[in-house]
């Protein structure tokens, strides 16, 4: 716009100049001035000379007026340029932390791509996010959340002076280090972690900040900044699966993992709806009698390519995608139906995900599923892990009480892997404790592990709680556990999880009256 105006001003000036020169030449050629003087002298009566003077004066005034408007126009256009600059700054910066934002990053990538084509210069990238930021926001309010972000930005800026530090998302920051040497990448990631972690005082509370860092570099992990940003993102996602303070440098295997996760998230909804995820049943044996006392239902998903997707993975995906409730409901209905067909008193145990315990209607849903399938409540057991009890103890307490009130047994799963706090055992009432397989694997050769297993068994005896030992793979483990008074055993020695018809035929062969030892 300004260019167009300038161009018009120049052409106008040239045209006027040409017109002036032409008029001057014409006037010289016609002796116009002499004629004018003679004309003025002859028309003294009508004050022609004064009139001419007035016309000339008005012309000059017009000229001065035009100059003043021109200067106004200049000032206005300067102001507009400055405002445009401010708007540009605002569009490319985050107002809270005053750090460059995603638009800035997009421009930076465009510039680099235009300038370097495919081979961009050496650059290190750190993607940083805060663990537990959402909780701070929820518990202490948005002002505290904003304060935390501003403080983080300040710490990163101080740790990386003369380096581009950006805020690229809610609680995600980025450091772009031009000309970074390859060996400095882990060191820089450490520096970011150390700078940000620690406590911050917000809203009168000391907040412990956890930091996750994903790092990648041009050209080690990709030829362009755009690709390396994706690599650093993959590394950050891997870091998010670790501890509160975690650093991950990009590695191509991570990409495969992330692709697998993305596939899971895409394929899972259809698998849940179509019932492709089915319960299998792993026998649980009465160690003294040697017969099958019940089964643990374990979810199995055979993907279209024929391979089984590990349950840890699809259960985690169902939790991520908010599908765990639906999946669990489908499975439980099937499990109750299958178990209702087994001879009494064979029972079935069903696993609950910690997330489900937040559902205050959970117990009612479970009771209804058993009733619909005409499975007596005494033949249904639910398994809960410690983490579920710690996250929402009040809701968990209510769910457990309701289930037990209806006659459904509640087992504490994977005992020994989490907090294994005695407070949990005193606060909640369980009908069964399942000792995690990591203890059973090594307890025979390990004096200390043996003592722990013995103590858990003593604890169960004292509390009147049954104990199941998980992961029994050898006859020796079975013998020893029986001698120690462990009531139930489960593991590959007795059988892995199997489809319902196989479980039914195992039961037909293995009834207590016949007393066929399972091993
Ligand atoms: P979990 O509840 O601890 O289940 C026992 C796991 O140990 C099962 O793994 C089982 O196959 C495995 N296992 C059994 N015996 C042995 C043995 O002798 N040696 C070894 N090494 N492993 C043994 P799986 O089926 O892969 O399940 C893994 C986890 O996935 C389960 O751990 C449970 O937390 C979860 N899961 C499985 N099915 C469901 C489900 O229907 N709902 C929910 N919420 N979680 C489920
Ligand atoms: Ca279990
Ligand atoms: Ca377990």
Q: Are 389 and 410 in contact (CB under 8 A)?
A: no
- Same domain for 478 and 330, yes or no, is yes
Whether residues 109 and 80 share a domain: the answer is: no
By most ligand atoms within 8 Å of CB, the mutation choice from 351, 434, 481, 494 for ligand 1 is: 351
Same domain membership, residue 228 and residue 195:
yes
Contact predicate 233/128, CB 8 Å: no
The pLDDT tens digits of the residues spanning 168-209 come to 988 999 999 998 888 899 999 999 999 999 887 777 778 788
Q: Mean of the pLDDT values across residues 406-422?
A: 87
**Average pLDDT of the segment spanning 143-157:** 93
CB 430 within 8 Å of CB 412: yes
Q: Which residue has the higher pLDDT, 418 or 19?
A: 19
Whether 516 is covered by a domain: the verdict is no
Instruction: Name the average pLDDT for the chain.
Output: 90
Q: What is the band of 513 on the pLDDT scale with cuts at 50, 70, 90?
A: low
pLDDT for residue 6: 67
In-domain check, residue 45: yes
**How many angstroms separate the alpha carbon of residue 74 from the centre of ligand 1?**
76
State yes or no: pLDDT of 96 exceeds 50: yes
CA of 413 to the centre of ligand 3 (A): 5
Q: Looking at the 3D structure of the chain, how many domains does it have?
A: 3
Is 198 found in the same domain as 232? yes
**What is the mean predicted confidence (pLDDT) over 120-128?**
96
Q: Is residue 109 part of a domain?
A: yes
Q: How much is the pLDDT for 457?
A: 94
Mean pLDDT of 424-446: 90
Q: Does 358 lie in the same domain as 325?
A: yes
Instruction: Between 421 and 482, name the one with better pLDDT.
Output: 482
pLDDT at 3: 56
**227 and 117 belong to one structural domain:** yes
**Do 373 and 309 share a structural domain?**
yes
Cis peptide before 219 (omega within 30 of 0): yes
Question: Are 502 and 395 part of one and the same domain?
Answer: yes
**Cβ atoms of 105 and 111 closer than 8 Å:** no
With beta carbons less than 8 A apart as the criterion, state whether 148 and 207 touch. Answer: yes
Q: Which of 67, 92, 117 is the last residue of a domain?
A: 92
Instruction: Please report whether residue 519 resides in a domain.
Output: no
Residue 127 within any structural domain of the chain: yes
Q: Is residue 80 part of a domain?
A: yes
Based on the fold, state whether residues 297 and 245 are members of the same structural domain: no
Looking at residues 252-257, what average pLDDT do you find? 86
Domain for residue 458, yes or no? Answer: yes
Domain containing residue 118: CATH number: 3.30.70.270
Q: Whose CA is nearest to atom 24 of ligand 1?
A: 311
Q: Where are the beta strands (DSSP E) in 12-160?
A: 123-131
Q: Is the pLDDT of residue 478 over 50?
A: yes
Is residue 292 a contact partner of residue 285, using CB atoms and an 8 Å limit? yes
> How far lies 140's CA from each of 136, 148, 171, 443, in Å?
5, 11, 16, 46
In Å, how far are 169, 300, 335, 385, 490 from 370, measured between CA atoms?
Answer: 46, 21, 9, 21, 24
pLDDT score of 7: 75
Q: What is the residue whose two structure tokens read 């002298």?
A: 41
Q: Is 124 contained in some domain?
A: yes
Range of the domain at 240: 102-250
CATH number of the domain encompassing residue 318: 3.20.20.450
- How far is Cα 369 from Cα 329, in angstroms, rounded to an integer? 8
| Domain closes at, from 250, 281, 297 | 250
If asked whether residues 351 and 492 sit together in one domain, one would say yes
Q: What percent of the chain has pLDDT over 90?
A: 59
Q: Which two tokens stand for residue 257?
A: 């993992």
Name the domain boundary from 70, 92, 114. 92
CA atoms within 13 A of residue 512's CA, in its CB half-sphere: 12
Per the model's pLDDT, the better-predicted residue between 4 and 152 turns out to be 152
Q: What is the pLDDT of residue 8?
A: 77
Residue 257 CA to ligand 2 center (angstroms) comes to 25
Highest mean pLDDT among 60-69, 256-265, 369-378, 426-435 belongs to 369-378
Q: Is residue 142 domain-shared with residue 162, that is, in the same domain?
A: yes
pLDDT at 33 over 90: no
Same domain, 333 and 479: yes
Residue owning tokens 């040409």 = 18
pTM: 0.67
CA 220, CA 231: separation in Å to the nearest integer?
Answer: 11
Verify whether ligand 1 is closer than 6 Å to residue 477 (CB atom): no
Between these two residues, 220 and 200, which has the higher pLDDT value?
220
């Amino acid at each position: 716009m300004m260019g167009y105006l300038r161009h018009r001003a120049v052409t106008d000036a040239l045209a006027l100049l040409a017109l002036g020169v032409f008029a001057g030449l014409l006037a010289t050629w016609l002796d116009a001035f002499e004629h004018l003087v003679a004309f003025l002298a002859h028309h003294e009566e009508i004050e022609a000379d004064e009139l001419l003077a007035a016309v000339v004066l008005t012309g000059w005034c017009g000229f001065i007026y035009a100059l003043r408007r021109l200067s106004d126009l200049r000032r206005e256009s300067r102001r507009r340029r400055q405002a445009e600059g401010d708007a540009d700054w605002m569009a490319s910066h985050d107002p809270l932390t005053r750090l460059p934002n995603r638009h800035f990053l997009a421009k930076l990538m465009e510039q680099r791509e235009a300038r370097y084509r495919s081979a961009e210069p050496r650059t290190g990238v750190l993607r940083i996010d805060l663990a537990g930021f959402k909780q701070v926001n929820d518990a202490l309010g948005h002002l505290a959340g904003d304060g935390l972000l501003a403080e983080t930005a300040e710490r990163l800026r101080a740790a990386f002076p003369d380096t581009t530090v950006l805020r690229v998302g809610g609680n995600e920051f980025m450091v772009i280090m031009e000309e970074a040497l390859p060996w400095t990448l882990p060191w820089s990631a450490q520096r970011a972690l150390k700078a940000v972690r620690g406590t911050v005082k917000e809203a009168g509370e000391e907040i412990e900040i956890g930091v996750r860092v994903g790092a990648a570099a041009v050209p080690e992990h990709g030829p362009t900044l755009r690709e390396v940003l994706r690599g650093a993102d993959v590394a950050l996602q891997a870091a998010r699966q670790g501890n509160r303070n975690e650093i991950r440098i990009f590695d191509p295997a991570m990409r495969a993992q992330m692709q697998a996760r993305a596939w899971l998230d895409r394929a899972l909804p259809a698998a849940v709806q179509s019932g492709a995820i089915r319960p299998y049943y792993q026998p649980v044996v009465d160690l003294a009698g040697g017969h099958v006392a019940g089964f643990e239902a374990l979810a199995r998903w055979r993907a279209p390519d024929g391979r089984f997707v590990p349950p840890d993975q699809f259960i985690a995906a169902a939790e991520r995608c908010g599908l765990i409730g639906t999946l669990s409901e489908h499975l439980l209905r099937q499990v109750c139906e299958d178990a209702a067909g087994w001879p009494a008193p064979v029972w079935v145990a069903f696993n609950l995900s910690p997330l489900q315990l937040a559902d205050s209607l959970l117990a009612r849903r479970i009771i209804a599923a058993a009733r619909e399938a005409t499975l007596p409540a005494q033949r249904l057991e639910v398994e809960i892990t410690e983490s579920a009890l710690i996250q929402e103890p009040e809701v968990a307490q209510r769910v457990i009480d309701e289930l037990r009130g209806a006659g459904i047994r509640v087992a504490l799963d994977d005992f020994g892997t989490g907090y294994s706090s005695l407070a949990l055992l005193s606060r909640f009432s369980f009908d069964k404790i399942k000792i995690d397989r990591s203890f059973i694997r090594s307890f025979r050769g390990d004096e200390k592990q043996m003592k722990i297993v013995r103590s858990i068994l003593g604890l169960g005896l004292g509390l009147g709680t049954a104990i199941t030992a998980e992961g029994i793979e050898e006859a020796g483990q079975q013998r020893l556990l029986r001698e120690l008074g462990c009531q139930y055993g489960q593991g590959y020695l007795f059988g892995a999880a199997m489809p319902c018809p196989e479980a039914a035929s195992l039961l037909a062969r293995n009834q207590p009256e016949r007393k066929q030892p399972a091993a």
